[in-house]
Amino acid sequence: MRFTISFPTHEREELVDITDKVRAIAAEHGRNSELCALYAQGATGAVMVQENWDPNIRTDVLKCLRTLAPRGVWLHDAEDGNGDAHIKAGIVGPSEVIPVQDGRLLLSTWQNIFFCEFDGPRQARTVIVTLL
**Residues 55-65 pLDDT 10s:** 899 999 999 99
pLDDT at 50: 97
pLDDT at 96: 98
Q: CA 80 → CA 84, 86, 119, 121, distances in Å?
A: 11, 11, 11, 15
pLDDT at 4: 98
Q: Which fold has domain 2-131?
A: Jelly Rolls (2.60.120)
Please tell me whether residue 56 adopts helix, strand or coil conformation.
helix
The model's pTM is: 0.96
Mean pLDDT by 10 residues, the chain (132 residues): 98 98 97 97 98 94 98 95 98 98 97 98 98 98
